A and B are shown apart, each in its own frame.
Chain A
């Protein structure tokens, strides 16, 4: 059963990797309002499916 849904490990890994990029100065792919830390932004990006990263299965 191959599901497109991410496992909790994949989610954590993607958010972590994206948050690192953001922390190092990458431009957010979503609109940032007020004070958000990189992890919040990465989580929001994942929710909107705009993170430019993929998991290798």
Chain B
């Protein structure tokens, strides 16, 4: 692969094309897959260069306005409120307009975080392994593994009989469970699979509280992750989760670090960095639109994602993000909270350099866009 990449880089240089790293990687991948010879590679690079240049826009083009319209118009076609049940797995995922709003607002707490966990090549088809991991990730409480549960008011204790076959089925470790129980409760007697708990004070109220506490004791699972669903997609097993914890899951053995994802953009930013977050915004927005049967050119979404991540951290679009942090007073004032911005600017003595569009419209000058962005000079006499 490394050799192919170098070869492609050479050809690209020879053709005087300036491609991004990822584009070169993609070409190299194709070359390997299709087993192309040098002549075919030459032709491929030539064609890609042509397509790449055609996809570029000219300087001065009003890309922002076009992007806003191109995302906005299909947005009006979206169903206002959509609930979606992905497959038979009854995993609820927010989609449609609410999800799109969530993305551009860069919400910290999204309403339905979910993950798709993939596995490395050797574990992909190993159902047993995947099920074991799924049970480690998914949340199980004491309630899921009890055979018999009763509160004895005469003896003032709660007796729990664990269901060994169930534990076996869930691929949990009995010793781990006992350890967790001992850690969480002090007054507990363990006799094989029968546990009896005593309340700290002998009162009926305390006993009942204890019963609930025992029942809800979490015995396995990764933090923030609830239900898990195992699904066979094409030839491999994939785990889908309700709730998300990318950092913890990526540390697990056998998990494919490349393909495993979450739909929580802030988590992607925290764990993998801003570039990954940018890709995540693009991917999530694109997927949301696609799911509704709407097609939007990626470049519009890429522009939105670029604006949101240009500062090095994910910013929302709107009052609390990009629009509210513009350098120009007039640009901010023309958006929202006009009075507040003008007052503050006058108190601080802010200077507006009139470099943007709105500022010049307010002043009544030609705007720096399209023809207006070009300056004309007399040619120097040679």
Q: Which residues of A contact B (CB under 8 A)?
A: 1, 7-10, 12-14, 16-17, 51-56
Contacts and interface: CB of A to CB of B under 8 A. Distances in A.
Nearest to A53: B376
A9 B378 contact: no
Contact of B60 (A7, A16, A17): A7
Interface residues of B, number: 16
Contacts, number: 44
Tell which of A7, A16, A52, A53 has the most Cβ of chain B within 10 Å.
Answer: A7
Interface string B367-378: 000110111111
5 contacts: A7-B59, A9-B61, A13-B374, A54-B379, A55-B377
Nearest to B57: A7
Contacts of A14: 374, 376
B269 to A, nearest CB: 30
A10 to B, nearest CB: 5
Nearest to A56: B375
Contact of B376 (A1, A7, A8, A55): A55
A10 B379 contact: no
Contacts of B378: 52-54
A16 B371 contact: yes
A56 B377 contact: yes
B29 to A, nearest CB: 24
Interface in B274-314: none
A6 B371 CA distance: 12
Contacts of A17: 376
Contacts of A12: 371
Contacts of B18: 1
A16 B373 CA distance: 14
Contacts of B61: 9
B373 A9 contact: yes
B374 A10 contact: yes
Interface in B18-66: 18, 56, 58-61
Contacts of A53: 376-379
Contacts of A10: 60, 374
B185 to A, nearest CB: 68
B45 to A, nearest CB: 15
A56 B60 CA distance: 13
Contacts of B60: 7, 9-10
B58 A9 contact: yes
A14 B375 CA distance: 9
A55 B379 CA distance: 9
A14 B371 CA distance: 9
Nearest to B369: A9
A43 to B, nearest CB: 15
